[in-house]
Chain A
């Protein structure tokens, strides 16, 4: 990773915004205490009918999809050799590392026997290779490590010139080998999301009878993968806009505009496969019944299609507003598709219902607040963001 332009943003950390985040963190922690002392039943609305709630659907599945900005940008820069987007890599990897780490923490909250999670990577003799969830778990665990290694040069570059002798020696010792191994680490960072983001779709091949027919298809792994790449780009657009506004950094509007074209291509492939599959199975009629499922399906489709059309228009090349609106529509579409698959389109049978409990919502918000605070801390202290100096820093 080139560092010629990445510099710490600097500025005051404890802004009013940061203090609000601290409040959310405290509320989430309080709910967390209930969960760990009283059990899942006391803190959540999950049940034997709906064993998975928003911690899985939002924090893990939607969260890691949003954290695929690093995946999408690395794909572009390193595989399709578009070096001009290099400035986007480091901030995207940071948000990916944070997003995936938060998903990891969310899993600790969600699984009933969290102290036994170490068995998943180590009990090789007990691995069930039929389990899509095992594939997800192993890949996500590895990817968290890979992301932090990918990001480590940003920390070591700073520590190398710092006052702390231990950190300085550590950085001098490890920066060269990490730099040298980086291509292979980057390649791993490209392989792992390809595997687990598609497997997050494969998870639903097993409960076939309980998933609504508008969402259930053998193409689920493909659809999850095809929709995660545009989601990654959309997040990069939003993050870049945010950091340019908050920290007075230059915004690569032209660069993001041309990325929009690729993104739209992925979205259109996703829609084409989804509709062709439904038509081929004779299920298209379900989409127009105007019941709850049909309306959600149509909303997903409208958001996907609308963002693709907006991104393909000439105006998207130059207009920040158009790019941002399309990105938000795309994020909404991708999240809705995932939450629908994991919660709404899942029907365990009569008598069961699910709506997240206050405890679940507080913990989810608390995790997002924590992630935001760590992001702000890191970009202020370490060379992550490229562009002009922090003349306007302090807005966030």
Chain B
């Protein structure tokens, strides 16, 4: 046992550990937290207090995005009744219940300021385009589905039944429509409104201030998951976790992963240095072994 340089093995492990240990506290020093909200960013404001659950937005979204109906058959009759987000439904209205209280809640892409999915995607099939929309480019996608694993809101959906050219499907704020998001266009109660995120935030605060008894004081998405471009207002009696909106913290989700990855791979210096060092050690040891063999003869 004594011939094996256990100490040098441990030294190597310690060095690798130190790299991580150094990166972690360094996070505290990161000044600008993530991308930040920009004046040109667009988004949605969803107001659960105003929503009556008519689902006009769900139907209009399908129409605007050319998505087939989610057929449900009841008593022999067909209904277009999407039950959840899927590869054919980018926008959904759910009923959230907590005891005898109930409220409607919209489901769909949050368009995070610092999206986990964009950070996950190997070849930038998901990117943040001008306006902050998280956009999907089919031609780049390889279908590894890491975006689905990474998203804290479980938003990207995959075409599981397609053998050829399955796509990732998610709300892209109707970026193909000049008129903007179809869901906001048809809402009869202004429960979904669209516009610049800064204006939406002001509108959200105005609604809370106008009726503080009805509204929860917090605007979900203002800081959640590092900030999102889709904002939520909840009834005072139904806090956000009861609506199914997770506690995703206030840090940009990808921050830690980025800091560690960049800490280790900064400028690719560490891997190159390690490679050169390994190369010389191997070279030296192989020469030594060859010389020993010669001597032995």
What mask results when residues 8 to 24 of chain B are scored 1 for a CB within 8 Å of chain A, else 0? 11100100110010011
Contact partners of B278 in chain A: CB under 8 A: 79, 187, 190-191
Contact pick for B141, options A2, A52, A113, A346, CB 8 Å: A113
What mask results when residues 113 to 139 of chain A are scored 1 for a CB within 8 Å of chain B, else 0? 110110110010011111111110100
Q: Are A36 and B163 in contact (CB under 8 A)?
A: yes
- Name the residue of chain B whose CB is nearest to the CB of A80: B5
**Distance (whole angstroms) from the CB of A268 to the closest CB of chain B:** 10
Contact partners of B146 in chain A: CB under 8 A: 131, 133, 203
Stretch at the interface among B34-42, B121-129, B189-197, B210-218: B121-129
Contact partners of A203 in chain B: CB under 8 A: 146
CA A26 to CA B288, docked complex, whole Å = 49
Quick check: is A161 within 8 A (CB to CB) of the other chain? no
Stretch at the interface among A14-22, A39-47, A371-379: A39-47
Contact pick for B119, options A79, A206, A258, CB 8 Å: A206
What mask results when residues 130 to 165 of chain B are scored 1 for a CB within 8 Å of chain A, else 0? 000000000011111110111110100111111101
Quick check: is A83 within 8 A (CB to CB) of the other chain? yes
Contact pick for A51, options B24, B86, B158, CB 8 Å: B158
- Name the residue of chain B whose CB is nearest to the CB of A86: B289
Q: Are A112 and B143 in contact (CB under 8 A)?
A: yes
User: Could you say which interface size class chain A belongs to?
Assistant: 35 or more
Contact partners of B237 in chain A: CB under 8 A: none
Quick check: is B285 within 8 A (CB to CB) of the other chain? yes
Q: Are A265 and B120 in contact (CB under 8 A)?
A: no
Q: Are B123 and A205 in contact (CB under 8 A)?
A: no
- Name the residue of chain A whose CB is nearest to the CB of B251: A208
Contact partners of A262 in chain B: CB under 8 A: 4, 6, 9
User: Could you say which interface size class chain B belongs to?
Assistant: 35 or more
CA A40 to CA B161, docked complex, whole Å = 7
Contact partners of A155 in chain B: CB under 8 A: none
- Name the residue of chain A whose CB is nearest to the CB of B140: A126
Contact pick for A206, options B16, B165, B254, B265, CB 8 Å: B254
What mask results when residues 76 to 91 of chain A are scored 1 for a CB within 8 Å of chain B, else 0? 1011111100100000
CA A369 to CA B248, docked complex, whole Å = 43
Contact pick for B116, options A133, A206, A259, A349, CB 8 Å: A206
Q: Are B162 and A131 in contact (CB under 8 A)?
A: no
| Contact A130:B246 (CB < 8 A) given known A186-B282, A206-B119 | no
Contact partners of A188 in chain B: CB under 8 A: 275
Name B residues whose Cβ lies closer than 8 Å to a Cβ of A: 1, 3-6, 8-10, 13, 16-17, 20, 23-24, 85-86, 116, 118-124, 140-146, 148-152, 154, 157-163, 165-166, 246-249, 253-254, 256-258, 260-262, 264-265, 271, 274-275, 278-279, 281-283, 285-286, 288-289, 292-293
Query: Which 4 pairs from chain A and chain B are nearest by CB?
Result: A112-B143, A41-B160, A205-B257, A51-B145
Q: 9 A–B contact pairs at CB < 8 A? A: A48-B148, A48-B154, A112-B158, A116-B141, A187-B279, A194-B274, A206-B257, A207-B150, A222-B20
